[in-house]
Amino acid sequence: MQRHRAELALALITVLWAGTFVAIKSALTDIDPSVFVALRFGVALAVGLVIWRRSLASIDRQTFVRGSVLGLLFGSGFLLQTFGLTDTSASTSAFITGTMVAFVPVVQRITHGVSLRGTHAMSILMILGGLYLFTSPELLGIRLGDVQTLVSAVIWAVYLVFIDAWTSEVRDDTDKQNAFVVLQFAVTVLIALVSMTIIGLTRHEPMRLDWTAPVLVAVLYCSIFASVIPTFVQTRFQQYTHPVRAGIIYAMEPLAASAIAVMIGAETLTMRQMLGGGVLICAIVVPDLIAIRRGE
Protein backbone atom coordinates (compact mmCIF):
# COMPACT_ATOMS: atom_id res chain seq x y z
CA MET A 1 0.00 0.00 0.00
CA GLN A 2 2.88 2.38 0.80
CA ARG A 3 4.31 1.87 -2.68
CA HIS A 4 0.96 2.72 -4.29
CA ARG A 5 0.60 5.90 -2.22
CA ALA A 6 4.13 6.92 -3.17
CA GLU A 7 3.44 6.29 -6.85
CA LEU A 8 0.23 8.31 -6.64
CA ALA A 9 2.24 11.20 -5.20
CA LEU A 10 4.79 10.87 -8.04
CA ALA A 11 1.95 10.84 -10.57
CA LEU A 12 0.54 14.06 -9.10
CA ILE A 13 3.88 15.89 -9.38
CA THR A 14 4.18 14.59 -12.95
CA VAL A 15 0.98 16.53 -13.69
CA LEU A 16 2.59 19.63 -12.16
CA TRP A 17 5.70 19.13 -14.31
CA ALA A 18 3.52 18.66 -17.37
CA GLY A 19 2.63 22.35 -17.43
CA THR A 20 6.25 23.48 -17.65
CA PHE A 21 7.06 22.63 -21.29
CA VAL A 22 4.66 25.11 -22.87
CA ALA A 23 5.13 27.70 -20.10
CA ILE A 24 8.92 27.71 -20.47
CA LYS A 25 8.78 27.57 -24.27
CA SER A 26 6.61 30.72 -24.39
CA ALA A 27 8.81 32.53 -21.84
CA LEU A 28 12.10 31.85 -23.64
CA THR A 29 11.31 34.49 -26.27
CA ASP A 30 11.84 37.11 -23.55
CA ILE A 31 14.49 35.55 -21.28
CA ASP A 32 17.75 33.64 -21.71
CA PRO A 33 17.71 30.00 -20.53
CA SER A 34 20.42 30.52 -17.90
CA VAL A 35 18.64 33.56 -16.48
CA PHE A 36 15.36 31.66 -16.34
CA VAL A 37 16.92 28.71 -14.49
CA ALA A 38 18.65 31.09 -12.05
CA LEU A 39 15.39 32.92 -11.33
CA ARG A 40 13.32 29.73 -11.13
CA PHE A 41 15.54 28.03 -8.62
CA GLY A 42 16.51 31.25 -6.87
CA VAL A 43 12.85 31.69 -5.91
CA ALA A 44 12.61 27.97 -5.05
CA LEU A 45 15.73 28.26 -2.85
CA ALA A 46 14.30 31.28 -1.01
CA VAL A 47 11.06 29.41 -0.33
CA GLY A 48 12.95 26.30 0.73
CA LEU A 49 15.13 28.23 3.16
CA VAL A 50 12.03 29.70 4.80
CA ILE A 51 10.18 26.38 5.06
CA TRP A 52 13.10 24.09 5.95
CA ARG A 53 15.59 26.42 7.67
CA ARG A 54 15.64 24.24 10.81
CA SER A 55 16.60 21.20 8.74
CA LEU A 56 19.86 22.85 7.67
CA ALA A 57 21.37 22.05 11.08
CA SER A 58 21.27 18.35 10.10
CA ILE A 59 23.73 18.85 7.23
CA ASP A 60 26.90 16.86 7.90
CA ARG A 61 29.76 16.10 5.50
CA GLN A 62 28.00 13.15 3.84
CA THR A 63 24.70 15.00 3.46
CA PHE A 64 26.49 18.01 1.98
CA VAL A 65 28.44 15.92 -0.54
CA ARG A 66 25.45 13.83 -1.59
CA GLY A 67 23.11 16.82 -1.74
CA SER A 68 25.66 18.69 -3.85
CA VAL A 69 26.06 15.75 -6.27
CA LEU A 70 22.27 15.49 -6.59
CA GLY A 71 22.17 19.25 -7.17
CA LEU A 72 24.82 19.00 -9.88
CA LEU A 73 22.77 16.35 -11.70
CA PHE A 74 19.48 18.14 -10.99
CA GLY A 75 20.72 21.55 -12.15
CA SER A 76 22.60 20.28 -15.22
CA GLY A 77 19.51 18.38 -16.35
CA PHE A 78 17.24 21.40 -16.01
CA LEU A 79 19.72 23.78 -17.65
CA LEU A 80 20.26 21.53 -20.68
CA GLN A 81 16.53 20.87 -21.01
CA THR A 82 15.82 24.62 -20.91
CA PHE A 83 18.50 25.37 -23.50
CA GLY A 84 17.09 22.56 -25.63
CA LEU A 85 13.63 24.15 -25.60
CA THR A 86 15.02 27.16 -27.48
CA ASP A 87 15.70 24.92 -30.49
CA THR A 88 13.03 22.23 -30.41
CA SER A 89 9.29 21.92 -29.93
CA ALA A 90 7.63 21.39 -26.57
CA SER A 91 6.26 18.00 -27.69
CA THR A 92 9.65 16.79 -28.92
CA SER A 93 11.28 17.95 -25.69
CA ALA A 94 8.64 16.04 -23.71
CA PHE A 95 9.23 12.90 -25.79
CA ILE A 96 13.02 12.98 -25.45
CA THR A 97 12.80 13.73 -21.72
CA GLY A 98 10.53 10.68 -21.37
CA THR A 99 13.22 8.43 -22.84
CA MET A 100 15.11 8.70 -19.54
CA VAL A 101 13.15 5.62 -18.48
CA ALA A 102 15.22 3.58 -20.93
CA PHE A 103 18.49 4.79 -19.41
CA VAL A 104 17.59 4.12 -15.75
CA PRO A 105 18.18 0.32 -15.85
CA VAL A 106 21.46 0.88 -17.72
CA VAL A 107 22.63 3.27 -14.99
CA GLN A 108 21.48 0.84 -12.30
CA ARG A 109 23.39 -1.96 -13.97
CA ILE A 110 26.59 0.11 -14.13
CA THR A 111 26.41 1.65 -10.66
CA HIS A 112 24.70 -1.04 -8.58
CA GLY A 113 24.87 -4.24 -10.68
CA VAL A 114 21.05 -4.51 -10.72
CA SER A 115 19.49 -6.70 -13.42
CA LEU A 116 16.49 -5.48 -15.41
CA ARG A 117 13.17 -7.12 -14.52
CA GLY A 118 11.10 -8.55 -17.36
CA THR A 119 8.05 -6.44 -16.53
CA HIS A 120 10.19 -3.31 -16.44
CA ALA A 121 11.69 -4.12 -19.85
CA MET A 122 8.19 -4.53 -21.26
CA SER A 123 7.08 -1.23 -19.71
CA ILE A 124 10.10 0.62 -21.12
CA LEU A 125 9.39 -0.60 -24.65
CA MET A 126 5.71 0.33 -24.30
CA ILE A 127 6.61 3.79 -22.93
CA LEU A 128 9.01 4.53 -25.80
CA GLY A 129 6.45 3.37 -28.37
CA GLY A 130 3.61 5.27 -26.73
CA LEU A 131 5.65 8.47 -26.44
CA TYR A 132 6.66 8.25 -30.09
CA LEU A 133 3.05 7.84 -31.20
CA PHE A 134 1.80 10.56 -28.87
CA THR A 135 4.32 13.33 -29.61
CA SER A 136 5.19 12.67 -33.31
CA PRO A 137 8.80 13.90 -32.94
CA GLU A 138 9.78 12.74 -36.41
CA LEU A 139 7.89 15.61 -38.04
CA LEU A 140 10.55 18.22 -37.18
CA GLY A 141 13.78 16.25 -37.73
CA ILE A 142 16.82 16.29 -35.43
CA ARG A 143 18.07 19.62 -34.02
CA LEU A 144 20.74 20.75 -31.57
CA GLY A 145 18.00 21.21 -28.99
CA ASP A 146 17.10 17.53 -29.37
CA VAL A 147 20.69 16.51 -28.59
CA GLN A 148 20.82 18.79 -25.55
CA THR A 149 17.55 17.36 -24.28
CA LEU A 150 18.77 13.79 -24.84
CA VAL A 151 21.86 14.48 -22.73
CA SER A 152 19.58 15.91 -20.04
CA ALA A 153 17.51 12.70 -20.15
CA VAL A 154 20.64 10.63 -19.47
CA ILE A 155 21.49 12.94 -16.56
CA TRP A 156 17.93 12.54 -15.20
CA ALA A 157 18.36 8.77 -15.31
CA VAL A 158 21.54 9.00 -13.20
CA TYR A 159 19.72 11.38 -10.85
CA LEU A 160 16.78 9.01 -10.39
CA VAL A 161 19.06 6.13 -9.44
CA PHE A 162 21.12 8.08 -6.91
CA ILE A 163 18.24 9.95 -5.27
CA ASP A 164 16.54 6.57 -4.77
CA ALA A 165 19.65 5.07 -3.16
CA TRP A 166 20.60 8.01 -0.97
CA THR A 167 17.14 8.99 0.29
CA SER A 168 16.49 5.34 1.20
CA GLU A 169 19.41 5.55 3.62
CA VAL A 170 17.80 8.51 5.45
CA ARG A 171 14.22 7.25 5.22
CA ASP A 172 13.52 8.04 8.87
CA ASP A 173 15.35 11.38 8.93
CA THR A 174 13.08 14.02 7.40
CA ASP A 175 15.53 16.82 8.24
CA LYS A 176 18.22 15.28 6.02
CA GLN A 177 15.64 14.75 3.26
CA ASN A 178 14.64 18.42 3.48
CA ALA A 179 18.31 19.42 3.47
CA PHE A 180 18.76 17.46 0.23
CA VAL A 181 16.01 19.58 -1.36
CA VAL A 182 17.59 22.88 -0.30
CA LEU A 183 21.08 21.79 -1.40
CA GLN A 184 19.77 20.79 -4.82
CA PHE A 185 18.22 24.22 -5.33
CA ALA A 186 21.37 26.01 -4.13
CA VAL A 187 23.70 24.08 -6.45
CA THR A 188 21.31 24.58 -9.38
CA VAL A 189 21.39 28.36 -8.84
CA LEU A 190 25.21 28.25 -8.79
CA ILE A 191 25.29 26.26 -12.04
CA ALA A 192 22.95 28.74 -13.70
CA LEU A 193 25.07 31.69 -12.51
CA VAL A 194 28.24 30.05 -13.86
CA SER A 195 26.46 29.49 -17.18
CA MET A 196 25.36 33.15 -17.25
CA THR A 197 28.94 34.26 -16.59
CA ILE A 198 30.42 32.09 -19.34
CA ILE A 199 27.80 33.18 -21.87
CA GLY A 200 28.23 36.82 -20.86
CA LEU A 201 31.98 36.62 -21.46
CA THR A 202 31.72 34.86 -24.82
CA ARG A 203 29.06 36.90 -26.59
CA HIS A 204 28.82 40.62 -27.29
CA GLU A 205 25.26 41.31 -26.23
CA PRO A 206 23.54 41.54 -22.83
CA MET A 207 21.60 38.66 -21.33
CA ARG A 208 17.94 38.81 -22.36
CA LEU A 209 15.36 39.50 -19.65
CA ASP A 210 12.04 41.24 -20.30
CA TRP A 211 9.52 41.09 -17.45
CA THR A 212 6.60 40.09 -19.63
CA ALA A 213 3.51 38.21 -18.42
CA PRO A 214 4.71 34.85 -19.83
CA VAL A 215 8.05 35.24 -18.01
CA LEU A 216 6.40 36.11 -14.68
CA VAL A 217 3.90 33.25 -14.95
CA ALA A 218 6.60 30.74 -15.98
CA VAL A 219 9.01 31.76 -13.19
CA LEU A 220 6.35 31.68 -10.45
CA TYR A 221 4.69 28.47 -11.65
CA CYS A 222 7.96 26.63 -12.29
CA SER A 223 9.60 27.74 -9.04
CA ILE A 224 6.74 26.87 -6.67
CA PHE A 225 4.51 24.31 -8.34
CA ALA A 226 7.11 22.61 -10.54
CA SER A 227 10.19 22.85 -8.28
CA VAL A 228 9.56 23.25 -4.54
CA ILE A 229 6.56 20.90 -4.31
CA PRO A 230 7.74 18.19 -6.76
CA THR A 231 11.34 18.09 -5.48
CA PHE A 232 10.11 17.72 -1.90
CA VAL A 233 7.67 14.95 -2.91
CA GLN A 234 10.24 13.17 -5.07
CA THR A 235 12.90 13.29 -2.36
CA ARG A 236 10.44 12.05 0.27
CA PHE A 237 8.49 9.39 -1.64
CA GLN A 238 10.45 8.03 -4.64
CA GLN A 239 12.40 5.75 -2.27
CA TYR A 240 9.27 3.64 -1.77
CA THR A 241 9.13 2.47 -5.39
CA HIS A 242 11.63 1.13 -7.94
CA PRO A 243 13.62 3.79 -9.89
CA VAL A 244 12.55 2.25 -13.21
CA ARG A 245 8.94 2.36 -12.07
CA ALA A 246 9.39 6.02 -11.07
CA GLY A 247 10.86 6.78 -14.50
CA ILE A 248 7.86 5.17 -16.16
CA ILE A 249 5.51 7.39 -14.14
CA TYR A 250 7.50 10.52 -15.00
CA ALA A 251 7.38 9.56 -18.69
CA MET A 252 3.63 10.26 -18.57
CA GLU A 253 4.33 14.03 -18.71
CA PRO A 254 3.35 14.53 -22.37
CA LEU A 255 0.05 12.70 -21.82
CA ALA A 256 -0.70 14.79 -18.72
CA ALA A 257 0.17 18.02 -20.55
CA SER A 258 -2.17 17.23 -23.43
CA ALA A 259 -4.95 16.11 -21.08
CA ILE A 260 -4.80 19.51 -19.35
CA ALA A 261 -4.83 21.30 -22.71
CA VAL A 262 -7.87 19.30 -23.86
CA MET A 263 -9.76 20.00 -20.62
CA ILE A 264 -9.30 23.76 -21.00
CA GLY A 265 -10.14 23.60 -24.71
CA ALA A 266 -6.67 24.60 -25.92
CA GLU A 267 -6.25 21.58 -28.21
CA THR A 268 -7.80 18.34 -29.41
CA LEU A 269 -6.27 14.87 -29.65
CA THR A 270 -5.72 13.00 -32.91
CA MET A 271 -6.37 9.28 -33.24
CA ARG A 272 -2.61 8.68 -33.22
CA GLN A 273 -2.29 10.57 -29.92
CA MET A 274 -5.17 8.65 -28.39
CA LEU A 275 -3.50 5.39 -29.42
CA GLY A 276 -0.19 6.56 -27.95
CA GLY A 277 -1.95 7.62 -24.74
CA GLY A 278 -3.55 4.20 -24.46
CA VAL A 279 -0.15 2.52 -24.81
CA LEU A 280 1.29 4.82 -22.11
CA ILE A 281 -1.50 3.96 -19.68
CA CYS A 282 -1.03 0.24 -20.40
CA ALA A 283 2.68 0.59 -19.62
CA ILE A 284 1.70 1.59 -16.07
CA VAL A 285 -1.19 -0.82 -15.53
CA VAL A 286 -0.09 -4.05 -17.24
CA PRO A 287 2.95 -4.78 -14.98
CA ASP A 288 0.71 -4.45 -11.91
CA LEU A 289 -1.84 -6.83 -13.41
CA ILE A 290 0.93 -9.34 -14.13
CA ALA A 291 2.25 -8.98 -10.57
CA ILE A 292 -1.24 -9.53 -9.12
CA ARG A 293 -1.71 -12.61 -11.30
CA ARG A 294 1.63 -14.00 -10.08
CA GLY A 295 0.70 -13.19 -6.47
CA GLU A 296 3.64 -10.79 -6.02
Q: What is the DSSP string of 70-95?
A: HHHHHHHHHHHHHHHTTSS-HHHHHH
Closest-CA residue to 125 (of 142, 102, 157, 144): 102
Please tell me the predicted confidence (pLDDT) of residue 246.
85
Q: How many whole angstroms separate alpha carbon 110 and alpha carbon 88?
A: 31
Q: How many whole angstroms separate alpha carbon 103 and alpha carbon 84?
A: 19
Please tell me the predicted confidence (pLDDT) of residue 228.
96
Query: Does residue 175 contact residue 235 with C-beta atoms inside 8 Å?
Result: no
Angle at 120 between CA 232 and CA 148, to 5 degrees: 60
Q: How many whole angstroms separate alpha carbon 86 and alpha carbon 27?
A: 10
Note down pLDDT in tens along the chain; length 296 residues.
588 899 899 999 998 988 887 788 889 999 999 999 999 999 999 999 999 999 999 999 999 999 999 999 999 999 999 999 888 777 677 777 877 877 888 888 888 887 777 777 777 788 788 777 876 665 656 678 888 988 998 999 999 999 999 999 999 999 999 999 999 999 999 999 999 999 888 887 788 899 999 999 999 999 999 999 999 999 999 989 888 788 878 877 777 777 776 676 656 667 877 787 778 778 767 776 676 566 55
Q: How many whole angstroms separate alpha carbon 197 and alpha carbon 246?
A: 35
Q: Which residues of 115-134 are buried (b: 16+ CB within 10 A; e: fewer)?
A: eeeebbeebbebbbebbbbb
Please tell me the predicted confidence (pLDDT) of residue 288.
64
- From the centroid of its chain, how far is CA 252? 11
- Residue 31 pairs in a beta bridge with 209
- Other CB atoms within 10 Å distance of the CB of residue 257: 23
Query: Does residue 277 contact residue 255 with C-beta atoms inside 8 Å?
Result: yes
Q: How many whole angstroms separate alpha carbon 104 and alpha carbon 115?
A: 11
Say which amino acid occupies 173: D
Closest-CA residue to 176 (of 63, 78, 41): 63
Residue boundaries of the structural domains of the chain: 2-294
Q: In sequence order, which residues have a C-beta less than 8 Å from that of residue 286 and are 6 or more positions away?
A: 119, 122, 123, 126
DSSP 95-116: HHHHTHHHHHHHHHHHHH-PPP
Q: What phi, psi does 292 have (nearest 5°)? A: -65, -40
Q: How many whole angstroms separate alpha carbon 255 and alpha carbon 248?
A: 12
Please tell me the predicted confidence (pLDDT) of residue 137.
63
Please tell me the predicted confidence (pLDDT) of residue 41.
97
Please tell me the predicted confidence (pLDDT) of residue 265.
66
Please tell me the predicted confidence (pLDDT) of residue 232.
94
Stated pTM of the model: 0.84
